[in-house]
Amino acid sequence: MQRGFFKIAEYQRWAVFQKEMWRQTTSFAWKNLTDPLVRRQFQKLAVLGDAVLPEDKYAEFLRIAADMKDIYSQAKVDNLSLDPDLTRIFASSRNADDLKKYWVGWRDATGKNIRSQYVKFVELSNEAARAIGFNDSGELWREPYESLTFEDDMAEQWEILRPFYLEMHAYVRMKLVKLYGEEVVKPDGPIPAHLLGNMWGESWNHLQDITRPFPDKQDVDITPEMVRRNVTAIQMFKISEGFFTSLGMKRMTPEFWHYSVLEKQEVEDMECYTLAWNMCADDDFRIWHCTVPTQDDLLTVHQKMGNIQYFQHFANQPLAFQWGANPGFHKAIGEFLELSVSTPKHLHKIGFLDKVENDTETEINFLMSMALEKIAFLPFSYLIDLWRWDVFRGSVDILNDRWWQLRLQYQGLCPPVRRSETDFDPGAKYHVPGNTPLIRHFFSYILQFQLQEVLCREAGHVGPLHTCDIYGSHTAGDKLAALLRLGSSMPWQDALARMTGGSGKLDARPLLNYFAPLRRHIRDSLGNSTVGWTSGDHNICP
């Protein structure tokens, strides 16, 4: 049976190869090697993962994984698919009853049907992790971050960010109270999870119409202009390439332009995932993306081209080091570029914005649009893996109850109808049945501002961080390229210290500096409004 891009049989053949390489690697007394780089290569290759399972159990593991993904991808509510139907409804509807119906329906169609399989999946995943020396799969997931205090480190960063999130939460809740009334949204309570413009309440950017601080000011959206000009996919990727060459970095290879899929093809059931691939063969780097002429998609193009730049720069490293310094590091390299590309100054520079209104109110609007995406997502990307780490440690009897405890504690959200252990609401988010860690997003959302601060300083930027565009700075490009060339050849802490000249610690303060003007505006706007929420029954909204 075909499952997504691959067949289960292909995974099994890959597992046989991985297991043999792992056996050969671990047959050496590599921990006694004196060359630190050679020893580090062995260390990387000595971590196998799920493929260590016996053949029959690995086949069962793959079958369960494929079944969960199939349930998720084929789920419908009233014959409506998640994309584009339900996503569009949540983005545009302000009917609380309709949103509640679809919110519940999606969880009935996905999570409820995945729960029992997920429990077995966790059991097999933990068995594999223990077979290679880890206590559970959560510990295996954290291993690439090379820190014995990683959980405490992430908790420390969250505590730095939490006060700003609480203020954002209070501001958005205030606007929702005005829209829906206090009988739907309590002024001092958690926000009902179905009212945030998104199926999971993870991003609030579709609430811009009710949250924009100064609605009469310029809305920085170049999508209408891109549509008017009939901008093509190739043009968007060439614009992105031009950003990197302005920094003195690499052009895309002929293989990239020949093999990449940049538009939706007229073939049956083509999946529109966005992926960047390192084919580990000469200059063969590729992107798979169904490009559409929108501002959001232009940012996505830059992000994925940033991943290709990473591939190109570390291509001379040994194969074991041809990856980001850690999973969050790899993601941040692409995403931090959006901080320059999304500025009104840059959009004007590349010819899509007629003028830039350099006034405080326009800047506050811009920062609010960024915060509705990035600040709102921080606690969700953190708590989803806190939940999974608990599950991997053995908390499988209260899956849904623990989920809503964490969602109330970290996000200040509550379910619109009562939830119980017959539900499995985490399974309504693809990354759970897809077994994809999200802590990399949390890490990345902090690191990208740290990188931006360093490179803006290198580029000679003067002024607030949110106005910085590193376009055209070869000094910033050289510093970035030096970082990318390292791949994973050294611990990320050392790579970051080399770039920043500091301690090499993850630091959330540049993020707070970036949003400082917005934070002042939110505080002024809140007046006597409650910041935070009363805790009650986490399994239903008060």
pLDDT of the residue at 268 = 64
Q: Is 201 helix (H, G, I), strand (E, B) or coil?
A: coil
| Positions in the chain short of pLDDT 70 | 1-7, 218, 268-269
Between CA 496 and CA 324 the distance in angstroms is 12
Name residue 2's beta-bridge partners: 7
| Distance in angstroms (rounded) separating the CA atoms of residues 133 and 124 | 15
| Chain center to CA of 3 | 23
At residue 247, the 3 state secondary structure works out as: coil
* Total length of the chain: 542
> Does the predicted TM-score (pTM) go above 0.75?
yes
Contact 161, 450 (CB under 8 A): no
Largest Cα span, the chain: 68
Angle subtended at Cα 50 by Cα 44 and Cα 55, rounded to the nearest 5 degrees: 125
Instruction: Give the model's pLDDT for residue 4.
Output: 44
Per-residue confidence (pLDDT) for residue 317, from 0 to 100? 95
Token pair 């970095």 in the structure block, residue:
249
pLDDT at residue 1 in the model: 37
Sign of the torsion angle spanned by Cα atoms 499, 503, 505, 506: negative
Supply the DSSP string of 26-93, one letter for each residue.
HTS-GGG-S-HHHHHHHHHHT---GGGS-HHHHHHHHHHHHHHHHHHHH-EETTEEIIIIIHHHHHH-
CB 285 within 8 A of CB 314: no
**Rounded CA gap, 126 and 109, in Å?**
27
AA letter at 239: I
2: DSSP letter: E
407-417 pLDDT per residue, tens: 999 999 999 99
